[in-house]
Structure 1
Amino acid sequence: MTTTDLPTPVSYREVTDANGRVYRLGETDIDIMGRKRKWMVILPWVGMMGISSAEYAFASAEDTLHTAHHWSSGHIFWMLGVWVFFQAAVAFPAGKLRESGKLPARWAMMCGALGTLLGYLSLAFAPHVVVAYIGFGMFSGMGAGMVYATCVNMVAKWYPERKGGKTGFVNGGFAYGSVPFVFLFTGFMDLGNFRWVLVCVGVFLAAVVAFAGYFFRDPPKNWWPADVDPLKKPDDARARRAMEKNPPAVHQYTPKEAWQTGRVGLMWFCLLCTSGVNIFGIAFQVPFGDEAGFAGGIVATAMSLKAIVNGTGRGVIGWLSDRYGRKQCLIFVCIVLGLSQYGILFSGNIGNLPLFLLFSSISGFGGGAIFPMFAAMTADYFGENNNASNYGLVYSSKLVSGLLGSGMGAVVVSAWGYGGAFVLAGTISLFAGFVATFLHPPGRPKAKRISPNPQPLGEETA
């Protein structure tokens, strides 16, 4: 990483568009932080990879933890639900602290690194399951939530004119960063070495998060790239297409104003449904694969494929949303996620391994792609200045979805079997796609409500 010595403060000017939104122009990324803004994509991506194994690889360690600590399978699934609960719970308060200046991005990442370390230490040495709930479920979950919210919102602030692909790329680190640890926990970790494996993983991942976060820096409020004029169509084709399909928010909404538009509630419900289905798949695909008769190594491969496609899908859908629109891509993703649940059930019931791997990968794509859509859409609808808090409101749906997808998922599986559970999951995701059709950026008229001028330009004075 190259850093340029910061020059004397650079003058800037503020311009206002027709909607009253203010843009701060004149300062480049080099002027502000001494390096190119691409580093505010690469470093958050690294930070996201550092927290991913706690969610995506945790289920792969289930058998070893169950035997080593004599914890029931129910505890394992509920522990994951608690982790997701606290990961989501910290998003809004951390966002408020970040935007108030009381919690700089660098220190938020350091807190996340500490939480990551405490989580793995508690899994290794917990004398009682309650300690694991506190250490892994609460502290690791809160740490991951701080890292997640900081990384995702950092990208939106540095790329306000073309955030979809960048947000998706960073979001992808939250999935495929876990791939090596899925194989590590299933193929190498056993009762004889699980403690030092967990400790080594915890130390390594905490160091990764801390290193990435050390270089974080926010741009000023209302900052806009100096080479992109917000009052006219950009010369760059990619930025022009992205702004046409996903126009900037009409002004910078506070969390209260954003909630009053009604869009936050709709987004919250859609994310509740889809993230619950995603977490259900993470928690129960391995047990379902075992019951279907697939070998443990094959099931680990399926989970790895799910994680890889999950992460890659986040970047791909972010890029596509810049081209075709966030809402259209969100609806598509909900449909894909829903139909793939039926496919997983079908392939498992008939014992067809290739189909199981295929639908597992498709489910991974759908389950991952929903998150960058909501992250980018929140900034598109409500602006970047309060994005950490606004996205925290939307992301708080995981407070419920984590418990429903993992803990209540276990209850549904016990009552209805895997067949009923996967059918219910698929139906919920399809319903979320229907709800998403009602989303529309606040303050902008719908296209179908705009009537053409009956008098073309010039006829008024003819």
Structure 2
Amino acid sequence: MTTAQPTYREVVDENGRVYRIGETDRDILGRSRVWMVWLPWISMMAISSSEYAFTSAEDTLADAHGWHGSHIFWLLGVWVFFQAAVAFPAGRLRESGKLSARAAMMLGGAGSLMGYLALAFAPNVFWAYVGFGFFGGAAAGFVYATCVNMVGKWYPERKGGKTGFVNGGFAYGSVPFIFIFTSYMDVSNYTGILFATGVLLASLVAVSGFFFKDPPKNWWPAHVDPLGASTDPRIARALRKNPPAKKQYTPMEAVKTGILPLMWFVLLCTAGINIFGIAMQVPFGKEMGFAGGIVALAMSLKAIINGTGRGVIGWISDRYGRRETLVIVCLVLGAAQFAVYFSGSIGSMPLFLLASMVSGFGGGAIFPLFAAMTADYFGENNNATNYGLVYSSKVISGLVGAGLGSVVVSNWGYGSAFIIAGSVGIACAFITLFLRQPKLPVSEQTTTPTDRPGSKDREATASLALD
């Protein structure tokens, strides 16, 4: 048995960006990088029920604990607040090396379990806010940030479809629990169902996360030439429509471009619309006279389309460009809000189901687009931190979409709330036209792609055992 050290070299493109080439995914992982798609996907499905299925348990939790109905919406808002709030610090810890991907996933699994235990056994609503809102939300944030950024690092040459696929698990993974919480859970069995759900989903997160591993900084797939045209037409088209970032931007550099703050604002608005739909669709459907089963079906279809749409939209953005795709998605998301309200107000069940699916598609598609776009604009090395900054807008959008949304409904009615949401979505489509990859300052531009000055083939840190 001998051990061979695979070599790598660093090359520099015309913009001065460094690429580490020569190592394969198997050299680093010991297996195909597709594992870093399937495992994050499983973990994302496991944490999705906390957001997408939670309001399906609204009536049971309110009856069992004696909570006022508004607490359910504010609990979801607090959960979303902490899920988004940890994105930046978690990314900072991950990129600095102080928190490994495996450790982040273990924390996520433990916190997820605490969230379900709080819903089942909290003696009062305060402990529900602490257990589910704080610990459960923060845990989901650790898992979400780790999974989304992991797949982008392993597929830097064609990240849209893969990122969308992993991101999609965050929605349709909740579908079984929407039906369980709506159709089978009541005050006589809610503690057992919530406990079993928490143990199952936390275990999936922990076991999947145990195998997580990041690639080296600046890593690029060995079979794709970062300085020349790819022989694979799919990769060539994706890189032409969404070229790699011109440099690896630090968070402060990304903020100073002005593009990242604009992305933050657009995601704040669109994520708020998505969370508003998640929180309000069930009570709106019931108030419009639809049976509980129909409302559960509509919510399930919304989650399914929300999730599958993320994968499809990622693939589309690889072919036609992220910004162009995002413009269409914002228009669809905004128009869907008008359709949901119109269909409910006239009592049309088929139209209500269709509008719910369209709304779910638009609401889900925004997240993988922003995740991939952040890496396209600012690079992969600091993507966990940079996307954490963009994603932190959900801190506000969660409270606005769920909490403030319920206030608007209480005072002005569903009609005003859905009209406001739809108008904001359409406005975001026009704002998105101003998003573009930042240009390098003249002082940082280079002219000739080359090997990194002074560098040569070097031994990689990973080793490969050969017979």
Equivalences for residues 9-28 of structure 1 within 5 A: 9-28=5-24
Displacement of 1:433: 1.0
Please tell me the residue identity of whatever aligns with 2:175.
V
Identity, % of aligned positions: 69
Does the alignment pair 1:165 with 2:161? yes
Task: Give the counterpart of 1:185 among 181, 186, 189.
Answer: 181
Q: Give TM-score, length-normalised by structure 2.
A: 0.94
Provide the rounded CA distance (Å) in 2 between the counterparts of 1:13 and 1:111. 35
Does the alignment pair 1:352 with 2:348? yes
Query: In the alignment, which residue of structure 1 is the partner of 2:403?
Result: 407
- Contact (CA 8 Å) 1:6, 1:30: kept in 2 or not? no
Corresponding pairs, count: 441
Question: Judging changes above 3 Å, is the alpha-carbon distance between structure 1 residues 444 and 241 closer, same or farther for their aligned structure 2 residues?
Answer: farther
Please tell me the residue identity of whatever aligns with 2:322.
R
Q: Structure 2: which 5+ runs fail to align?
A: 442-467
Moved more, 394-403 or 427-436: 427-436
What do the CA deviations read for 1:84-113 (whole angstroms, capped 9, x no partner)? 000000000000100111100001000000
Please tell me the residue identity of whatever aligns with 2:215.
P
Does the alignment pair 1:299 with 2:295? yes
Provide the rounded CA distance (Å) in 2 between the counterparts of 1:350 and 1:410. 22
Q: Structure 1: which 5+ runs fail to align?
A: 446-462
Query: In the alignment, which residue of structure 2 is the partner of 1:82?
Result: 78
Does the alignment pair 1:333 with 2:338? no
Equivalences for residues 81-160 of structure 1 within 5 A: 81-160=77-156
Query: In the alignment, which residue of structure 1 is the partner of 2:465?
Result: none
Displacement of 1:7: 5.2
Equivalences for residues 297-446 of structure 1 within 5 A: 297-443=293-439
Provide the rounded CA distance (Å) in 2 between the counterparts of 1:353 and 1:345. 12
Provide the rounded CA distance (Å) in 2 between the counterparts of 1:443 and 1:357. 44
What do the CA deviations read for 1:364-405 (whole angstroms, capped 9, x no partner)? 000000000000000000000000000000000001000000
- Contact (CA 8 Å) 1:6, 1:34: kept in 2 or not? no
Equivalences for residues 28-47 of structure 1 within 5 A: 28-47=24-43
What do the CA deviations read for 1:252-299 (whole angstroms, capped 9, x no partner)? 000000000001110000000000000000000000000110000110
Provide the rounded CA distance (Å) in 1 between the counterparts of 2:395 and 2:344. 30
Provide the rounded CA distance (Å) in 2 between the counterparts of 1:16 and 1:51. 39
Displacement of 1:9: 3.0
Q: Secondary structure at the match of 1:12?
A: strand
Q: Give TM-score, length-normalised by structure 1.
A: 0.95
Displacement of 1:434: 1.0
Task: Give the counterpart of 1:212 among 204, 208, 214.
Answer: 208
Please tell me the residue identity of whatever aligns with 1:430.
I
Please tell me the residue identity of whatever aligns with 1:317.
I
CA RMSD of aligned residues (A): 1.1
- Contact (CA 8 Å) 1:7, 1:31: kept in 2 or not? no
Please tell me the residue identity of whatever aligns with 1:66.
A
Q: Secondary structure at the match of 2:7?
A: coil
Provide the rounded CA distance (Å) in 2 between the counterparts of 1:401 and 1:99. 26
Provide the rounded CA distance (Å) in 2 between the counterparts of 1:294 and 1:413. 18
Provide the rounded CA distance (Å) in 2 between the counterparts of 1:6 and 1:136. 51
Provide the rounded CA distance (Å) in 2 between the counterparts of 1:207 and 1:48. 13
| Higher RCO by CA contacts (8 Å cutoff, separation 6 or greater) | 2
Provide the rounded CA distance (Å) in 2 between the counterparts of 1:427 and 1:389. 31
Query: In the alignment, which residue of structure 2 is the partner of 1:230?
Result: 226
Please tell me the residue identity of whatever aligns with 1:138.
F
Displacement of 1:355: 0.0
Provide the rounded CA distance (Å) in 2 between the counterparts of 1:293 and 1:426. 23
Please tell me the residue identity of whatever aligns with 1:313.
G
